[in-house]
Amino acid sequence: MNGLIIRPYRPADAIGLATLFHRAVQEGTAQHYSAEQRQAWCNAPPTSEGWRARVEEAVTIVAERDGRHLGFMTMDMETGYLDFAYVAPEVMGKGVAAALYAVIEGRARTQGLARLETEASLLAQPFFKRHGWRIVKRQEVERSGVKIPNARMEKRLVRRFAAA
């Protein structure tokens, strides 16, 4: 994507990323989840301290163009858990997620992580499969009494050694 910038999270990003997260759930997953499921998942942009803590305590990478948030991913670099992986609906399938993911996986490899984990939505599962992840278990999470299907996925990172 022309003009795409991938950069570390800044505290001023919190509100913009919350809005992007809400839009990605409400609009981006509409072909995979019912309105009831999307409402239970994220009925409004999150504003709690818990939201801010989740994006600030993890390694969060942001994609932007012309100052506009286009996506973000977060990973706990101690456990290898990829928590958030969202892009704006209008740029889905245009390389933003791939650019973010390349940075996140590169950081995980630099940290020496051997395995990455996530809980992937029905929408995200094909993306992760294309990047070498496998489904460990299909499951349903419950939010506000509504069951939302997803899958626990993992990727084992093979150490790459330089040729002698």
Residue-wise pLDDT tens digits, 92-139: 999 999 999 999 999 999 999 999 999 999 999 999 999 999 999 999
pLDDT tens, 84-97? 999 999 999 999 99
Closest CA to 143 of 17, 28, 20, 34: 34
Global model pTM greater than 0.85: yes
Q: Could you tell me the two tokens for 158?
A: 């093979």
Q: What is the DSSP string of 7-42?
A: EE--GGGHHHHHHHHHHIIIIITTTTS-HHHHHHH-
Find out whether 103 and 6 touch, Cβ atoms under 8 Å. Answer: yes
Gap between the Cα atoms of 50 and 47, Å rounded = 8
Q: What letter represents residue 96's amino acid?
A: V
